A and B are shown apart, each in its own frame.
Chain A
Amino acid sequence: MAEVLVYVDHVDGAVRKPTLELLTLARRVGEPVAVALGSGAEATAAVLAEHGAVKVLTADAPEFADYLVVPKVDALQAAYDAVSPAAVLVPSSAEGKEIAARLAVRIGSGIITDAVDLEAGDEGPVATQAVFAASYTTKSRVSKGTPVITVKPNSAPVEAAPAAGAVEALAVSFGEKSTGTKVVSRTPRESTGRPELTEAAIVVSGGRGVNGAENFHVIEELADSLGAAVGASRAAVDAGWYPHSNQVGQTGKSVSPQLYIASGISGAIQHRAGMQTSKTIVAINKDAEAPIFDLVDYGVVGDLFAVVPQLTEEVKARKG
């Protein structure tokens, strides 16, 4: 069976969930060969093998951390040359998309970004995209070169499928362009202890209706009772009530959890663009005419300061 390259998104060896989902999709189109780069690369092998990687190509060098994107493209290209895969799959993070796109240029291939599903087709992998704020579903494929496809988080189940996962060192020679953009400093984002927004099964979001940073604890308490991630609308972020890294929408994160709860959010098209593929949508808004109610499976017309705390209490009570 043809091999498929899977680019591994990990933090110091801890593989992030979207990569494991990618392995599920990769197995539909070939035999997954994982590529893990940077510090902790080898430590990723065990979990990748458990989820179907037949091989894990690893490389570490200071270049990966000291310069932006291009050294990783050099490495992925080295893996591509070594394997001659039938497709290259990359998680749809901001960086993942840029790595994938530059690789596609180098190998003369087309690229599809933000796929939400992937199947084998007669002429290569067929990708499903949710476009125009998820109002359309398209099916596309790469028609020139080796398909390069980036896949959004929460697009496939994580499935165990034990495979050999043999670790092999990848020889990478960095091109002179790889040191073009220096990373002068890096400030890690502080962990909140809550699930990662794009990966979470449940997201609880607050908008302008939350009316102040000091009120966001109402949203956080509901999130914590459900084990959820916290999201925010751009209005809440622009007002300085919540960090931009939690923004959901076109210019924030795109989420597709099992459950999305929007409180005090009107449902502008740019917000919908980032959450409309959520499986179940719930909204709490005091305006019965708010466009968000067009999307919901369940909506409560009411004051979030009454409804949300009551819901939180109920959740806690039911969970015991």
Chain B
Amino acid sequence: MSLRIVVCVKYVPDATGDRHFADDLTVDRDDVDGLLSELDEYAVEQALQIADEADDAEITVLTVGPEDAKDALRKALSMGADKAVHVEDDDLHGSDVMATSLVLAKAIEKTGYDLVIAGMASTDGGMGVLPAILAERLGVPQVTLLSEVSVEGGVVKGRRDGDTASELLEASLPAVVSVTDQSGEARYPSFKGIMAAKKKPVESLDLDDLDIDADEVGLEGSWTKVDSATERPARTAGTIVKDEGEGGKQLAEFLAGQKFI
């Protein structure tokens, strides 16, 4: 029987660009290029490796995001995923994590799945909670923050390196997994992969297709509200000295002045 893998990928503003908030306090997407959240490349990579080990597997990449988010799907398809689902609806603008996860959960159920794989955190919101929320909403085990993952005989196993201990985890499928950037370098799309991706199917869904009311999502429907966003004032230029043999002593003087020693 085929192993159905759904990989959640997010389209985010490039972290090396100048990220801003728009007037409605949502992320300004016009000013800076978007891309597939780098940490989701690790999720796609693990999906590809798990699929390689399975007799028969199909990888669907899924995103909730604006029109341009198709770029993130194309990147994942060019890495080797089989097909894509794009949930796109004007009413989604400004959705918080509860709203986004509601949409993702419905889309995952509609697509059908044995295994959901996500990144450890997005590079914009960076909450790092969406995979756990998906597990709660779908009613399946969470096997999250894995630096190593494998699937065999309907069981997913992984290693979670926590604050105080490293744990080996195990759960039966269906399950939700998230992987860290320690799980293994993500592959670059090959030229062949990029060409093949152009022919792979991308299904578009809107809120109606998922039976979600507009007032459950978006800026108004969300569970949280941003009241203000202020750019942090540029740091006042610090003192910079060139070491000419006394750099360590000068630094000690500064630290003493600040009462650190």
Q: A98-B142, A143-B222, A300-B241 are in contact. Are A136 and B231 (CB under 8 A)?
A: yes
Assess whether B142 is in contact with A138, with CB atoms less than 8 Å apart.
no
A98 touches B144 (CB 8 A): yes
Pair A245/B98 contact, Cβ less than 8 Å: no
B255-A315 in contact (CB<8A): yes
Say yes or no for B127: interface residue by CB 8 A criterion.
yes
> With the chains together, A9 CA to B204 CA distance in Å?
43
B243 touches A302 (CB 8 A): yes
Contact A105 B136 (CB under 8 A): yes
The closest CB in chain A to the CB of B102 belongs to A105
Instruction: Please name 12 pairs of A and B residues whose Cβ atoms are closer than 8 Å in the assembled complex, sorted by A.
Output: A70-B142, A73-B136, A97-B128, A112-B224, A139-B226, A142-B223, A144-B223, A184-B169, A186-B167, A226-B260, A306-B245, A315-B261
Size of the A side of the interface (Cβ < 8 Å), in residues, is 90
Tell whether, in the assembled complex, residue B163 and residue A93 are in contact, meaning their CB atoms are under 8 Å apart.
yes
Q: Which residues of A contact B22 (CB under 8 A)?
A: none
Q: Are B261 and A299 in touch, CB under 8 angstroms?
A: no
Q: Is the CB of A226 within 8 A of B261?
A: yes
**A198–B163 Cα gap in the complex (Å)?**
10
Interface centre among B132, B147, B231 (most CB of A within 10 A): B132
Residue of B nearest to A182 (CB): B170
A255-299 interface bits toward B, Cβ cutoff 8 Å, 1 = contact, 0 = none: 000110000000001100100000011101000100001111111
Residue of A whose beta carbon sits closest to that of B127 = A113
A301: chain B residues within 8 A (beta carbon): 240-243, 247
Our pick among A189, A281, A297, A306 for the contact of B247 (Cβ within 8 Å) is A306
CB distance from B3 to the nearest CB of A (A): 19
Check B2 for interface membership: any CB of A closer than 8 A.
no
- CB pair B251–A282 under 8 Å, yes or no, is yes
Q: B81 CB to closest chain A CB, in angstroms? A: 22
Asked if B16 and A111 make an inter-chain contact with CB atoms under 8 angstroms apart, the answer reads no
Residue among A137, A186, A294, A314 making CB contact with B229, cutoff 8 Å: A137
Instruction: Specify the chain A residue showing the minimal Cβ separation from B226.
Output: A140
Taking CB atoms, residues of chain B closer than 8 Å to A135 are: 19, 231-232
**B240 — which chain A residues lie within 8 A by C-beta?**
288, 293, 296, 298-301
Within 8 A of A (CB), among B221-235: 222-232, 235
As a 0/1 sequence over residues 123 to 142 of chain A, the CB contacts with chain B under 8 angstroms (1 = contact) are 00010001111111111111
- SS class, residues of chain A in contact with chain B: mixed
7-35 of chain A: CB within 8 A of chain B: 11
Please tell me if A235 contacts chain B, counting CB pairs below 8 Å. Answer: no
Chain A residue at minimum C-beta to C-beta distance from B252: A314
Contact, CB under 8 Å: B127 / A97 = yes
A118–chain B nearest beta-carbon distance, Å:
14
- Judging by beta carbons under 8 Å apart, are A69 and B132 in contact? yes
CA distance A192 to B255 in the complex (A): 25
The answer for the CA separation of A293 and B137 in the assembled complex, in Å, is 45
Given contacts A97-B129, A111-B127, 11 further A-B contacts (CB under 8 A): A94-B128, A95-B162, A132-B15, A133-B15, A137-B229, A251-B121, A251-B181, A297-B239, A303-B243, A308-B248, A310-B247
Cβ-defined contact, B243 with A319, below 8 A: no
A311 touches B248 (CB 8 A): yes
Q: Which residue of A lies closest to B140 (CB)?
A: A180
**Chain B interface secondary structure, helix, strand, loop or mixed?**
mixed
Q: How far is the CA of A302 from the CA of B132 in the complex (A)?
A: 45
Please name all residues of chain A whose beta carbon is closer than 8 Å to the beta carbon of B229 when the two chains form the complex: 131, 136-139
Known A111-B129, A318-B252, A318-B256; contact A187-B242, beta-carbon cutoff 8 A = no
The CA-CA distance from A320 to B163 in the complex, in Å, is 34
Q: Is the CB of B222 within 8 A of A313?
A: no
CB of B207 within 8 Å of the partner chain:
no
- Give min CB distance, B133 to chain A, whole Å: 5
A102 → B minimal CB distance (Å): 4
B132 touches A98 (CB 8 A): yes
Give CA–CA (A312, B96) in the complex, Å.
Answer: 47
**Given A143-B223, A250-B123, A301-B240, A187:B165 Cβ within 8 A:** yes
User: Is A208 part of the binding interface, using a Cβ–Cβ cutoff of 8 Å?
Assistant: no
Q: Is A212 an interface residue (CB 8 A)?
A: no
Bound together, the chains give a CA A142 to CA B97 distance in angstroms of 12
Contact B163 A68 (CB under 8 A): no
Known: A143-B222, A145-B223, A226-B260. A307 touches B133 (CB 8 A): no
CB distance from B75 to the nearest CB of A (A): 19
Chain A nearest Cβ from B19, distance in angstroms: 5
- Chain A residue nearest to B224 in the complex (CB): A110
Question: A109 interface residue, CB < 8 Å from B?
Answer: yes
Closest approach, in angstroms, between the C-beta of A138 and any C-beta of chain B? 5
Smallest Cβ-Cβ distance to B119: which chain A residue: A251
Q: Are B98 and A111 neighbours in the complex by a CB distance under 8 Å? A: yes
Instruction: List 8 tightest A-B contacts by C-beta distance, closest first.
Output: A310-B248, A302-B243, A110-B223, A180-B141, A314-B252, A101-B129, A311-B248, A98-B132
